[in-house]
Every structure is written in structure tokens, then in C-alpha cells.
Chains A and B, each alone.
Chain A
Amino acid sequence: MKEKIRIGCGAGFSGDRIEPALILTEKGSLDYLVLECLAERTIALAQKRKLQNPEFGYDVLLEKRLKDLLPLLLQYKTRLVTNMGAANPIAGAKRIIELAKSQNLSIKVAAVIGDEVLEFISGEEHSLENNRPVQSEGKLLSANAYLGVEAILPALASDADIIITGRVADPSLFLAPMIYEFGWGLDQFELLGKGTVLGHLLECAGQLTGGYFADPVSKPIPGLDQLGHPFVDVFPGGRGVISKVEGAGGVISQRIAKEQLLYEVLDPHHYITPDVVADFSTVQFEEIAFDQLQVTGGCGIERPEKYKVSVGYEAGFKGEGEISYAGSHAVERARLAGEIIEKRIKGLVPNLRVDLIGLNSLHPNDLSKNSNPYEVRLRVAGMCKTLEQAQLIGEEVEALYTNGPAGGGGARKMVTQVVGVVSTLLDRNQIKPDFQLLST
């Protein structure tokens, strides 16, 4: 058994930068690298791509992320665990094999499957969010269970260099290597809880080294343009020490770790993953050396009885239009433009939203009460059933050029296809994770 294992996080979401993973692998002496690239909507959109072409459905940035990374993983003996499989882990694995062959590299890739559960959903299941049948939200596109370490461990036990999954709980991507290397039991909830704490800290990558933390006035962070992603040294008893590659941008500190520990945690005493219900309330941080943060405490209570399932459905089209005004009476002219649009299309688009960017588009009105900006941007948005209805919104804003208030400029219009996501629960015994091993 190893004395410690080092796990790095090279991507914290689907749109993360490419090079931090390369730097981590080259200079971080990692045992494991995790690339976390799945958000709630991402799988439903990936599912649509797969329906159009069964060869697709994996993360669109898969090749870009792996092109230069593959040789480094082999050279520095780093195993990769990633959820870039999205809606099609097997196709993703095949693509990686092709990439490796084109570089004359010899690798094995394990594709973890079993998260897709649309066929087991009747549609009558009530969503956790709205407590009504999921099929009442719209046409169902996808249903994916959040798998846990039990799905990843068999793949880790094979000699795969890369493990690519579909929907898996983010902390499980980190916890599985810990269990595999240290031989933790799946019922040793205290250890699983500690490992889940470390996984949750690392899963958003740069958010742990000062990204999304920096405020140049109150809490400055150097080198955001070259932000280094974090890694953690995990010890067999569940203690962790967080650090980053020397010389990379960013900082390791208690303050940053506290923000990340609590990020998106509904109840810090009961943080629920497929593996364990973890208790974050006893976590402690200590800066033990420059850029080295020790993490102790944290615990686990039990394993949840059910798997959480993310259900994607067709939710129509969002239409938007924007136009800017500056100088004297900018706010008044922008407000007038908004009123004109409302009069013209409120009947067709009853949920029309009107914002003044630069004044009140982000926060409740009372917070910007006494502000008077030099320039302001009108934004009009609405949710529609059809593409044409959604397009109308932007078209009406653009038509203000010759029909609206004076001095309007920079008009833009956009339409986005909307995929809604709700969640429900399935019994553990309905889910059967598996994996396929592919090699060059």
C-alpha cells in the first residue's frame, strides 16, 4: 500500500482551460489526474448529439484536452479518471484509442457505463424540485443516475490507463482512487466522508487556488491568467494536504478553501453523494507550510438508499435581444424601449423579462436604488415553444433602430435551445454499472 497518493484536478467544468492539466501532469508528480467536465445540462445536450449520430455524445472538448495530454500521462505514469464520456463513454473511449494510435502510443481505456436509466423511468416519478411527474415538464431527453465509487472501482482494478465515465458524482471521481489504493471498505463511512471532503474541495479545480475568489480590492490573487490547478496528497487515514505546482499562478489558503468547502452545499451536516452522507461541519484547515494546506476532520454517516437521477427534458427556446443607450436620459430611453417591446409582444410572450444591464439585471431592484449609470443596456428575454417565436424577441429589439428611442446602439439578438433538468430518485438495485476495456 502506498504511503500517500497524489490526485490533481485538471478541469473543474466542461468549459475549463486546457493547459492546467498539462502543467499538472508534467510538473505535479501525480498518481492520478481527474478531469471533471459534466454539468447538469451537458448530458442532455450530449444525448441529443448521440441521437443524431451514435458515434458522438462524449464531451466536445475530449480531443482538444487529450491531444497533448496522452503522451504526458504515459511518460509521468499518471492515471486519468474523467467523466468526459458524458452521454457516450464507449464512443469516447474509442476516440481516445484512435488518438493514441495516431500518436503511436499504447494505452488501455476503460469505459464505465450504467448511468443511463431513461428506459427505467416511467415518467410518473415525481421530481424532487416540483413534486410533480417528470414527464409533465416536457418531452424527456435523458435520464442519468449519479453513479458512485462502486461503478469506478472495477475499472480501476483493471490495468486501464484511462477511466472514462458518464454521469458520476464529482467527489466519487477522487474518492475511488483513494479507496482503491488504500483498501478502504465501502462501509467505512468515516473514511469515505473524509475522502468526499477532499474530492469536493478539488472538483472545481481553479476555484481552490484563487479562481472565482479573487477581488482586487479585498482579496487579491496573483497570476490569474496562469492559474495553477490544485492537487491533494491523501494519506491512508483520510488526512489531506492541498498544494499546487510551484511557480503557477494562484494561492493556497484557508480562506479560499472555506469558500470551496461550502460551495453548493445545501446542508453541511449532510452532504449526500452516492457513496456516503458526509458531515462537513467538523472539517479543519491549517496552513502547515507555504502553499500547503492540511485538511483534517470531516466524517461520514451512512450510505443513501437511493441514487439521484438527473432528468433532461425539452424546454423550448429562449429568445433574447439587447440594445445600449448612453449619456443624458440613458436610463429613461432604455426604459421606454423596454415598454415599447412589452406593448408589442407581451401578448405572444407572457413571461417576457426586461432588464437594464448596468443598473438592475443581476440583483433585486432595491439594491441599485440610488445609482445612475452613464450607460445602460436594455435586455429583453422570453421563453417560447418554437424557434420562430423566440427569434421574434430579438427581431423586435433590432427594429428599435428605426422605430425606437434616440441613440440606441449595439443591438444583438440570440436564440438558445433550452434543456430543462429536474431530479428524481431510483432504488440502488435498479442500477447496474459495468465497464468495457478497450486497448490500442
Chain B
Amino acid sequence: MKKLVDIAHSRAGDKGNILVLSLIPFDSKDFDWLVQNITADRVKSHLKGQIKGNVSRYVLPSIHALQFTCEDALAGGVTTSLALDAHGKSLSYALLEMEI
């Protein structure tokens, strides 16, 4: 069973209560497939236990990368969150668990 981690890498970042996830194919040939198939809705659905708000997707053809901005995703905000990983830094690998 294939997962995103087999064809792409990702880094998570945070701004207040917003989680930012990049998604970059190892091989630029897979970029078009990612654009077609890894939509904002699909990311929101995959991380539905984590993301309470809207997910926006940005497509960046010049570097063959996708960026997902996920609102209300960090338990109220990194500074007051009770989560063990308050910044959500490990969530890049949660995204990469998505079955494809």
C-alpha cells in the first residue's frame, strides 16, 4: 500500500493557530499527479482529527511544490496549547501517511 511518504517530502511550520505544510515530490515528474490528486479537501479530510478550520492550497510550478495553509489546527495556538507537540512540527509526517 503506497503512501505519500514514498513519493514526496514535507516540512511543517506554524503561525499562531495555523499549520503550514509543504508537499514536494522527490521526482518532479510526480508534480502533476500531486496537483491533480492531493487537493485541499483531501488534506483536510486526512487530518480531520487535527484541523478544525479551512485548508487553502497554493501551487508553485517554478519549484514543483505545493503548500497547504490549515487554519485552527494547533489547539488554539502554539503558546497556550497543551499538545505535546504544540507547534505541530511532527505533522509533516502525518500528512505523508496519506494512502495514495
A positions within 8 Å CB-CB of B: 40-41, 128-129, 212-213, 215, 218-219, 255, 258-269, 280-285, 297, 315, 318, 351, 353, 355, 357, 361-367, 379, 381-383, 418-423
Contacts and interface: CB of A to CB of B under 8 A. Distances in A.
Contacts of B97: 363, 367
A242 to B, nearest CB: 14
A218 B65 CA distance: 18
26 contacts: A128-B16, A129-B16, A215-B9, A218-B26, A255-B9, A258-B22, A259-B9, A259-B10, A259-B22, A262-B20, A262-B65, A262-B67, A265-B13, A265-B20, A266-B20, A267-B56, A280-B60, A283-B62, A315-B79, A361-B84, A362-B90, A362-B94, A363-B90, A363-B94, A364-B47, A364-B94
Leading 4 A-B pairs by shortest Cβ distance: A364-B49, A264-B13, A262-B22, A259-B11
Contacts of B78: 40
A267 B84 contact: no
B85 interface: yes
Nearest to A312: B79
B5 interface: yes
Interface of B: 5, 9-11, 13-18, 20, 22, 24, 26, 47-50, 56, 58, 60, 62-65, 67, 69, 77-80, 82-85, 90-91, 94, 97
Nearest to A379: B84
Contacts of A285: 63
A268 B67 contact: yes
A297 B63 CA distance: 11
B11 A218 contact: no
Contacts of B94: 362-364, 367
A283 B94 CA distance: 27
Contacts of A212: 11
Contact of A267 (B58, B64, B65): B58
Contacts of A215: 9
A422 B100 CA distance: 38
B49 to A, nearest CB: 2
State the main secondary structure of chain A at its contact with B.
mixed
Contact of A268 (B49, B58, B83, B85): B58
B62 A284 contact: yes
Contact of A315 (B65, B67, B80): B80
B15 A264 contact: yes
Contacts of B63: 258, 261, 283-285
A357 B49 CA distance: 17
A422 B15 CA distance: 10
Given A364-B47, A367-B94, A264 B84 contact: no
| Residue of B9, B80, B90 with most chain A CB atoms under a 10 A cut-off | B80
B23 to A, nearest CB: 9
Given A261-B63, A283-B63, A357-B84, 18 more contacts: A128-B16, A129-B16, A258-B24, A259-B11, A262-B20, A264-B13, A264-B15, A265-B20, A266-B18, A268-B60, A281-B60, A284-B62, A361-B84, A361-B85, A364-B49, A367-B94, A381-B84, A419-B79
A413 to B, nearest CB: 15
A416 to B, nearest CB: 11
B26 to A, nearest CB: 8
Contacts of A261: 63
A418 B81 CA distance: 10
Contact of A218 (B5, B50, B56, B90): B5
B91 to A, nearest CB: 7
| Residue of B18, B50, B78, B82 with most chain A CB atoms under a 10 A cut-off | B82
Given A129-B17, A264-B14, A423-B16, A365 B49 contact: yes
Nearest to A261: B63
A283 to B, nearest CB: 6
A355 B24 contact: no
